[in-house]
Amino acid sequence: MNYFILSQDERISNAVEPIGISQVIKKELLTAERMEELEELERQFPVLDKSENDYIDFIEKPIALLADPVKQLVEKYESRLPFKPVVLMDMPKLKQTLYWLVIPPKVTCLSPQTEFNLDGTLKKLVIDETLAAPYTFFKIEGIKEDYIIVNIELAESILRRAFRGIRFRKVQTEGRWSEILQA
């Protein structure tokens, strides 16, 4: 089984940028246990005013947001994932766009071959495939990085569609090296 880090394609320079999300939706709320607290929060956010905003299918920062078609595809693979709607508002253009906040499970699947820098960040990520195998869309327990990991079936399914702004980096699992795939 192969695994990939899901990330935003940083080459798209006019990608939409939500404003103020991290002030409202704190990182510590992004757990399955605290999911209900998100219900009480305002989840409509303005976007950075640009001459043109490209509403890509995956926004990585400040929190991971999936466009509706990506969310629907991910749900086919992981039906139990908790999602919350987030609306991005382009006030000057009177446009609202639906995205989805997702809270993937945190999986304890680090291989002993994983290497860390002195500051605790990853030097080399290696995951134990046997521990990760039941999951198709998840985060890794025990690392500072906020990576979303997807298995090869979901990654290929995403790549077969006309999604924009999505990038995959292969995760090493026992002796395999990083490759970059684009969507």
What pLDDT sits at residue 175?
A: 38
What pLDDT, on the 0 to 100 scale, is given for residue 47? Answer: 95
Q: Which residues of 84-119 are buried (b: 16+ CB within 10 A; e: fewer)?
A: bebebbbeeeeeebebbbbbbbebebbbeebeeeee
User: Do residues 126 and 161 make contact, with C-beta atoms less than 8 angstroms apart?
Assistant: no
Nearest to 155 by CA among 171, 134, 173, 140: 171
Instruction: Show Cβ contacts of residue 134 under 8 Å, excluding neighbours closer than 6 positions.
Output: none
Cβ burial 54-66 (10 Å sphere, 16+ → b, else e): ebbbbbbebbbbb
Is residue 173 over pLDDT 60?
yes
Predicted confidence (pLDDT) at residue 180 exceeds the cutoff of 60: no
CB atoms closer than 10 angstroms to residue 163: 18
In this prediction, residue 40 carries a pLDDT of 86
pLDDT tens digits, 101-156: 999 999 999 999 999 999 999 999 999 999 998 999 999 999 999 999 999 999 99
Q: State the chain's mean pLDDT as an integer.
A: 90
Each domain of the chain, given as residue ranges in start order, spans 3-182
Residues paired with 15 in a beta bridge? 54
64 closest CA partner among 148, 151, 130: 148
pLDDT band at 55 (very low <50, low <70, confident <90, very high): very high
CA–CA separation, 144 and 44 (whole Å) = 28
Separation of alpha carbons 36 and 59, rounded Å: 22
